[in-house]
Amino acid sequence: MRFSQSLWALSLIAVLGAARAEVTATLTGASDFDFRGISQNAHKPTPQGSVDLASDSGWYLGAWGSRIDLGARSPGLEVDFSGGFRKKLSVDGSYELGSVYYTYHAPNAHEFDYLEVYAGATFRWAAARLYFSPKFGGNAGREMLHGDVSAFYLTTEAAYPLRANFSLTAHAGYSFGNYWDKQRDGNYGRPYFDWSAGLGYTHRRLTFILKWVDGSALTESNTTMRDVLSTRAHAVFAVSTTFP
């Protein structure tokens, strides 16, 4: 993290320390790293992990990492830092405000780093969030598109519980904004819709998810070399466990 992000995180940790906090860690093995309908690991299996700190006052911090494959001379590891505040409005509903700082680790990889802020709400088994990044894709995105690269992402998620520890999962998202408009002008991409649907199962500490990922017909990215940043429809299987 840059100095400003580190200082922000330390300040939030001090707030969390003033209240009772719970720390959890999650380890995941996935057949692919799908990010908003685009493969971040060239449709190859990847290990992932996270550590989260949440207080009873509503403040939370998190760090999440995954192996990635974005092509030749690209970063090989992504680590995301997040923090925010979640407030319950009722037994079934809540709202939250927060941010995510995406970092990529390899020589000169900081050119890809960028920040997003978000606002969201949950009700029972469904949730929605709106993300905004003033510089999507970092300095690399600004240099490629020659100017403002702000972007939005609107997403809805659902995990509907079934009997015998099964659940139905669903996701729908839409990427739009100046970054994607400029992608369209350069025939690199365009504003697009992505979705997934799947089935989850929990057994003791293990959670299994099998989902189908698809979306808009982004022909620019369906047949990329070695599947780097591919958007073709595919199945993703993941198994995870959380401690304690």
The series of mean pLDDT values per 10 residues for the chain, 244 residues long, is: 46 57 95 95 95 94 93 82 95 96 81 95 97 94 88 97 97 96 84 96 96 82 72 94 95
Q: How far apart are CA 34 and CA 39, in angstroms?
A: 5
What three-state secondary structure class fits 19? Answer: coil
What pLDDT was estimated at residue 9?
52
* Secondary structure letter of residue 148 according to DSSP: -
Q: What is the pLDDT, as a whole number, of residue 220?
A: 57
Alpha-carbon distance of 37 to 20, in angstroms, equals 37
Q: Are 31 and 39 in contact (CB under 8 A)?
A: no
Q: What are the residues facing 92 on neighbouring strands?
A: none
pLDDT score at 2: 41
Token digits of residue 99: 């941010």
d(CA 238, CA 59): 28
Domains along the chain? Answer: 3-243 (2.40.160.40)
Cβ pair 220, 188 in contact under 8 A? yes
